[in-house]
């Protein structure tokens, strides 16, 4: 689904990820990634601090899968489905 959403691009611009998944400005998204609040690898297109940044499609998919697994676990705990 992500591949179709981003026209098969392997690296998604940080501004697109920030907008589409976190509802954050690009700057705030990059700060949260840099501080470790969002555990997502950020790719720099050059060595410069001001260069274009993006997120690899596979890394975003893994992050979303991890968030989903955590949500499912929490839901099961809240609903008592994990009890013996």
Say what the pLDDT of residue 83 is.
52
Instruction: Say if residue 46 is exposed, middle or buried (CB neighbours under 10 Å; 0-12, 13-18, 19+).
Output: exposed
What's the CA angle centered on 50, arms 44 and 53, to 5 degrees?
Answer: 30
Please, which pLDDT band fits residue 50 given cuts at 50, 70 and 90?
A: confident
* Mean pLDDT confidence for 46-57: 90
pTM of the model: 0.85
Q: Which residues are bridge partners to 53 per DSSP?
A: 44
């Amino acid at each position: 689904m992500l591949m179709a959403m981003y026209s098969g691009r392997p690296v998604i611009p940080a501004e697109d990820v920030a907008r589409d998944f976190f509802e954050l400005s690009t700057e705030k998204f990059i700060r949260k990634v840099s501080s470790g609040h969002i555990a997502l690898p950020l790719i720099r297109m050059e060595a410069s601090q001001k260069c274009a940044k993006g997120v690899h499609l596979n890394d975003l998919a893994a992050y979303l899968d991890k968030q989903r697994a955590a949500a499912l676990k929490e839901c099961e705990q809240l609903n008592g489905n994990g009890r013996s």
